[in-house]
């Protein structure tokens, strides 16, 4: 599936108010990240073990009947503590929908930028508006298992901390992502020196996830 950089057919419409009830598929891959490579906002602390954090690279496709249909690439270098809560800190997030970009920034303080995606069954390529280029192998192994899923992010909202939560169900199998090419990622916090954790990724063959309204936490 080709996804073009810039406006999608839904762009020009206002993004929906949360909750967003989304459908799609995704691939997620954990990485070991050196704590010394992390520079988090004031008030944020990385959750680490022996000086290492677990980062996550994810590729997601949102399909109908999602309120917005788009592709997304996300790099979260660590789980973080802030405002008395925990969640993954999003360092980079790319989408091919201006409506998703605006909604993500304004509702959940997610640092979305535009990108062009080409996603097939076994490989995906991404060209970002800030000059990064990636080619990813999409991996699937074994049978699918129905399960519930949930996750949260913590972002710097200026005067407060913004917590995003998503929850739902999926058909999950072993799999994940392998980076075949990567250029222009030097500005990605924690990426340089990060080590892929083979065998620990996952493929979400289908999912139904609700993106809940944000919680704003005092610093």
Using alpha carbons, select from 85, 202, 100, 218 the residue that is nearest to residue 152.
85
> Which of these ranges, 11-20, 86-95, 122-131, 146-155, has the smallest mean pLDDT?
11-20
pLDDT of residue 219: 86
The answer for residues whose C-beta is within 8 angstroms of residue 25's C-beta and 6 or more apart is: 60, 61, 63, 203, 204, 205, 206, 207
pLDDT mean across residues, the chain: 94
% of the chain exceeding 90 in pLDDT: 93
Average pLDDT over residues 26-55: 97
Q: pLDDT tens for residues 41-76?
A: 999 999 999 999 999 999 999 999 999 999 999 999
Phi, psi of 18 (to 5 degrees): -75, 155
Give the model's confidence band at 4: pLDDT under 50 very low, under 70 low, under 90 confident, else very high.
very low
- Note every long-range contact of 142-147, with CB atoms under 8 Å and residues 24 or more positions apart, other chains counting: 142/173, 142/174, 143/173, 144/171, 144/172, 144/173, 144/205, 145/171, 145/172, 145/173, 146/170, 146/171, 146/172, 147/171, 147/172
3 state SS for 145-161: EEEEEEEEEEEECCCCE
What is the predicted pLDDT for the residue at 78? 98
- Structural domains in the chain plus CATH codes: 2-213 (2.40.400)
Please write the tens of the pLDDT for every residue from 102-152.
999 999 999 999 999 999 999 999 999 999 999 999 999 999 999 999 999
DSSP 188: S
What is the model's pLDDT at position 5? 41
Answer yes or no: is pLDDT of 7 > 70. no
Q: Which of 89, 105, 108, 96 is nearest to 18 (CA)?
A: 108
Residue 8 is predicted with a pLDDT of 39
Q: What is the pLDDT of residues 157-188, one digit of tens each?
A: 999 999 999 999 999 999 999 999 999 999 99
pLDDT of 6 reads 38
Q: What is the pTM of this model?
A: 0.94
Return the H-helix or E-strand segment holding 69.
Answer: none
Q: What is the DSSP letter of 41?
A: P
Classify 184 in phi/psi space as left (phi over 0), alpha (psi -120 to 50) or beta. Answer: left
């Amino acid at each position: 599936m080709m996804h073009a950089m810039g406006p999608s057919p839904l762009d020009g419409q206002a993004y929906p108010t949360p909750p967003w009830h989304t459908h799609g598929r995704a691939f997620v891959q954990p990485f070991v990240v050196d704590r010394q490579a992390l520079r988090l906002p004031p008030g944020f602390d990385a959750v680490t073990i022996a000086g290492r954090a677990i980062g996550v690279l994810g590729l997601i496709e949102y399909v109908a009947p999602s309120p917005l249909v788009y592709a997304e690439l996300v790099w979260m270098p660590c789980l973080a503590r802030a405002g008395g809560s925990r969640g993954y800190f999003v360092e980079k997030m790319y989408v091919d929908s201006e409506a998703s970009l605006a909604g993500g920034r304004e509702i959940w303080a997610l640092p979305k930028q535009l990108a062009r995606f080409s996603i097939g069954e076994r490989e995906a390529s991404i060209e970002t508006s800030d000059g990064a280029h990636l080619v990813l192998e999409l991996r699937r192994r074994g049978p699918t298992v129905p399960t519930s899923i949930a996750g949260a992010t913590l972002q710097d909202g200026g005067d407060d901390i913004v917590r995003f939560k998503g929850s739902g169900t999926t058909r999950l199998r072993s799999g994940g992502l392998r980076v075949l090419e990567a250029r222009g990622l030097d500005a990605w916090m924690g990426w340089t020196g990060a080590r892929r954790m083979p065998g620990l990724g996952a493929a979400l063959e289908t999912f139904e996830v609700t993106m809940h309204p944000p919680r704003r936490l005092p610093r």
